[in-house]
Amino acid sequence: MKKTLIYAHRGASKLAPENTMPAYQLASESGADGIEIDVQLTKDRIPVLIHDENVRRTTNGTGFVQEYTLDYIKKLDAGSWFSTKFSDCSIVTLEEFLCWFKFKPMVLNVELKTNVIEYKEIENIVYEALAKHRMLNRTVISSFNLNSITRMHEINPNVQTAFLTSTKRQNLAKFAKENGSTSLHVKYRLLDKKLLKNCRRNDMSLRVYTINRPSYMEKCFNLGCDGIFTDVPHEAVEYRKKFQK
Ligand code: G3P
Ligand code: MG
């Protein structure tokens, strides 16, 4: 059985503010195989790493990412909400992240946050950034919005893509594949043997989110899922040793 890859979800987001450089740095030190990042676009169409469309929850600002230029976004404090220790953290651009990440021996999952706002051209912008840094061969691009997956597949049919979903449906693996997806990223409650079998039959990878509990990790490792997304990569790396050599 192949090892289940461990992706640090928004970085090591239990230990440091999500989607910030300290969270990514801790992820790389944790022994995780990969990092998952969330991408939104600023008003001046710069890809930035933040989970929510609105900056309110994870910064000292308020309002939508798409209403602000990068200049403004960069001035926000993206760490104090988590702990005053991180008050010097700012929102990271995709460019800054890739300049750092490309030297790490890790895989990447870029999640396009297009399920609420369909940022125009985000697929092209992100694709160009990944291509420029020669990251395409170790990156999977995912989205809850199937249009983003289809567009990415049209830009380059060889790019690895993943349809993200928390909704059960008949023949999910086949459906995702027909829409240009090479893998499925599903919420834990959708995971069962049958889904994994269907993924295998359709030559699709299966990765599962968000896996923080040991009992959830155990199920993913025992079934042999291709990957998990976890806020506690350091714990997952230790726990995996019990189940997979
Ligand atoms: O990519 C897996 C997971 O990140 C999807 O959900 O809301 O945490 O971005 P969310
Ligand atoms: Mg995400």
* Tens-place pLDDT, residues 5-19: 999 999 999 999 999
pLDDT at residue number 81: 98
Residue 182 lies in a domain: yes
Distance separating alpha carbons of residues 142 and 132, to the nearest angstrom: 19
Q: Which ligand 1 atom sits nearest the alpha carbon of residue 10?
A: 4
For residue 123 the two structure tokens come to: 């697929």
Give exposure, 4-16, as e/b (b: 16+ Cβ within 10 Å): bbbbbbbbbbbbb
Residue 229 lies in a domain: no
Confirm whether 9 is a catalytic residue: yes
Confirm whether 234 is a catalytic residue: no
Confidence of residue 1 (pLDDT cuts 50, 70, 90): confident
Adjacent-strand bridge partners of 187: 209
Residue of the nearest CA to atom 5 in ligand 1? 209
Among left, alpha and beta (phi > 0; psi -120 to 50; other), residue 113 is beta
Distance separating alpha carbons of residues 80 and 78, to the nearest angstrom: 6
SS3 10: coil
> What angle separates helix 94-101 from helix 21-29, to the nearest 10 degrees?
20
Range of the domain at 102: 17-30+40-208
pLDDT at residue number 245: 82
CATH label of the domain that carries residue 191: 3.20.20.190
Mean pLDDT on 134-155: 97
End-to-end CA separation in angstroms for the chain:
10
Ligand of minimum distance to the alpha carbon of 162: 1
Confidence of residue 171 (pLDDT cuts 50, 70, 90): very high
Does the Cβ of 18 fall within 6 Å of ligand 1?
no
Does the Cβ of 19 fall within 6 Å of ligand 1?
no
Residue 221 lies in a domain: no
Residue 107 lies in a domain: yes
pLDDT at residue number 20: 99
Residue 103 lies in a domain: yes
Mean pLDDT on 149-167: 97
Taking residue 200's Cβ as centre, other Cβ atoms within 10 Å add up to 14
Residues with CB under 5 A from ligand 2 (ion): 38, 111
Whether the CB-CB separation of 92 and 21 falls below 8 Å is answered with yes
59: exposed, middle or buried (C-beta count within 10 Å: 0-12, 13-18, 19+)?
Answer: buried
Does the Cβ of 177 fall within 6 Å of ligand 1?
no
pLDDT at residue number 19: 99
Residue-wise pLDDT tens digits, 65-124: 999 999 999 999 999 999 999 999 999 999 999 999 999 999 999 999 999 999 999 999
pLDDT at residue number 226: 98
Whether the CB-CB separation of 208 and 228 falls below 8 Å is answered with yes
Query: For the chain, what is the radius of gyration of the CA atoms?
Result: 17
Query: Which runs of E-coded beta strand occur in 178-242?
Result: 183-187, 205-209, 227-230
Residue of the nearest CA to atom 4 in ligand 1? 9
Whether the CB-CB separation of 12 and 6 falls below 8 Å is answered with no
Residue-wise pLDDT tens digits, 29-70: 999 999 999 999 999 999 999 999 999 999 999 999 999 999
If one counts the domains in the chain, the total is 1
If one residue of 6, 51, 209, 220 were mutated to test the ligand 1 pocket, choosing by the most ligand atoms within 8 A of its CB, it would be 209
Does the Cβ of 164 fall within 6 Å of ligand 1?
yes
Residues in the chain, overall count: 245
pLDDT at residue number 68: 98
If one residue of 9, 148, 206 were mutated to test the ligand 1 pocket, choosing by the most ligand atoms within 8 A of its CB, it would be 9
The pLDDT mean for the chain works out to: 98
Distance separating alpha carbons of residues 205 and 41, to the nearest angstrom: 28
Ligand 1 centroid distance, CA of 165 (Å) = 9
Predicted model pTM: 0.98
CA angle 233-236-237, nearest 5°? 85
